[in-house]
Amino acid sequence: MSMKRMGERGNLVCDRWILRMFVETAYFVLCNSYELLYTPHMANVELWRTSGHLEFYHESMFDQMQVEKETYQIRPMNCPFHVLIYKDGMKSYRDLPLRWAELGTVYRYERSGTLHGLFRVRGFTQDDAHIFCLPTQLEDEMTRVLELVERILGRFGFTKYEIMLSTRPEKSVGSDDIWEKATQALLNSLKNKGWDYSIDEGGGAFYGPKIDIKIRDAIGRLWQCSTVQCDFNLPERFDMTYIDSDGTKQRPIMVHRALLGSIERFMGVLVRLMQSNFDITFCHWLELFLPW
């Protein structure tokens, strides 16, 4: 490998590290209501059986492994760990919303023919977060997330997005009432921002409606970046509850959200935009930490 090429790769590693620092700093500067979590990279297979990943997502999961006569699974997602933390103690309606974030590395099986540079890999880090809230808090939480998306992407020069609101598919979990309220909350949050969007009828996840935000790279390709998803499945599967003001047990709404999405994929988009000119990159990254 040439010295020039080694230098480029070294700068790329440095830039990825700075990007990670930027995201973590943003949580403290912009998102002081988020707590940063660090969770294990694997768990007993029963966790993934309870979450439904083993049933619905097994084709994208790596093979299991035996550890001291027990079966373990490397994680394809971070969310079940955050659920376990929620369930570590009784919650009151006064405790909500809870906002937990993690720069967590996940591992997903991809066929070798589908791998594509930084854009599609088998192990990647997400700026993942989960919000646990009351139904009445959902619209405000969604609006807060979209405002955060706008500020974060804006620091990298992205001001134009393609936005899709995906609604209830034929096969889904959750009542008609909660789906209607959640979808309306997403619609209202988009209207609050004044953003143009398209509706993908029936394109939501089986566990809830979602908003996907895509950005364009230097050659015009669209890449999904930010996403906000309601989840009615995991609270049901893990029997998550909070004590309401009338003393009854109720289920919280769980919100999955990512700002940059995959750090590796976002770096790939930036590499295209900067045309691999990393000589000035470090100074450029330092500007990200100037006052917000």
8 Å CB contact between 182 and 142: no
3-state secondary structure of 26: helix
By DSSP bridging, strand 210-216 and strand 35-36 are: unpaired
Altogether, the residues listed in the chain come to a count of 292
8 Å CB contact between 79 and 130: yes
Catalytic residue numbers, as ranges: 79, 108, 126, 128, 130, 210, 256
Can you tell me the distance from the alpha carbon of 30 to that of 25, in angstroms, rounded to the nearest whole number?
8
8 Å CB contact between 22 and 289: yes
Can you tell me the distance from the alpha carbon of 49 to that of 56, in angstroms, rounded to the nearest whole number?
10
